[in-house]
Structure 1
Amino acid sequence: MTQMIFVNLPVNDLARSVAFYEAIGLHKETKFSDDTAAAMKLSDTINVMLLTHDKWRSFTSKAIVDAKTSAQVALCISRDSRAGVDAITEAAARAGGVADVSPPQDHGFMYGRSFEDPDGHVWEPMWMDPVAAEQGPGAFAQQDA
């Protein structure tokens, strides 16, 4: 079986969060969703599990971090192009998120922006030139010389 990742996020309003993630291009996997959790498919190997706070508490006794005021993780996802970075960031803003919670970054070989979902979870869509992704940014810089 291919290795997969399931990003689990506690959310205040499950329906609102499902609508947000659908608006930015994820698809709800109904066979793994109920009234306490929703499985949102980002790719064949990446899923975002949206969990009500009660459901979240069934997995850990640790306090739920208020993502609006504290950062525990930044979730970086690749896009196929700079336009793809812009498209998902702008879709997030239209769907009730906040775009560019950190300044956009443009390093030539790599371009990234950020957004928050309605609960404050930070996502960082990024694009990297395929040469830099394969050989590292130093090789990319040598091509420009």
Structure 2
Amino acid sequence: MSKMIFVNLPVADLPKAMAFYTALGFTNNPHFTDETAACMVWSESIMVMLLTHAKWQSFTDRPIPPSTSSEVMIAITLDSRDAVNALVDAGAAAGGTADLNPPQDHGFMYQRTLADPDGHIWEPFWMDPTAVPPSE
């Protein structure tokens, strides 16, 4: 079996969260979706599990952080600067918040941030590995 990553996120409103991720280009895997959770597919190896608060709390006793805090930033690669801008713009139009952190343009790498409706931070970025400055 190839290695995969499942990012589990607590969400306040499952249908709203599913609509947001669909607007970003994720697809739903109905085999792992019910009224408490939805599996949203980014690629063959990356899935996001959207879990209602009750479902989330069946896995851990730790509190769900408020939407104003950040526990992680999930970075995903895209094929171009335009793709980064398009994803962030689509997310903002679907109820997310664009650019909680200022966009960063390092020439060889371009990144922006996007918070989903529950405050989870995504960092779509484009990078040209052939243009990375050599390390000193």
How far, CA to CA, are the matches of 1:117 and 1:138 in structure 2?
Answer: 32
Instruction: Report % sequence identity.
Output: 56
How far, CA to CA, are the matches of 1:69 and 1:99 in structure 2?
Answer: 14
Matched, 1:52 2:52: yes
Q: Which amino acid aligns with 2:98?
A: A
TM-score by length of 2: 0.96
Aligned length: 135
- Write out per-residue CA displacement over residues 115-145 of structure 1, whole angstroms, 9 at most, x where no aligned residue: 110001000000000314xxxx224x9xxxx
Unaligned runs of 5+ in 2: none
Q: Which residue is equivalent to 1:61?
A: 61
Return the offset for 1:92: 0.3
- Aligned-residue RMSD, C-alpha: 1.1
Q: Which residue is equivalent to 2:18?
A: 18
How far, CA to CA, are the matches of 1:99 and 1:90 in structure 2?
Answer: 7
Larger Rg: 1
Q: Which residue is equivalent to 1:138?
A: 133
Q: Which residue is equivalent to 1:113?
A: 112
How far, CA to CA, are the matches of 2:63 and 2:93 in structure 1?
Answer: 30
How far, CA to CA, are the matches of 2:108 and 2:96 in structure 1?
Answer: 27
Unaligned runs of 5+ in 1: none
Aligned pairs for 1:65-76 within 5 A = 65-66=65-66, 68-76=67-75
- Write out per-residue CA displacement over residues 62-82 of structure 1, whole angstroms, 9 at most, x where no aligned residue: 11111x211100111000111
Moved over 6 A (4+): none
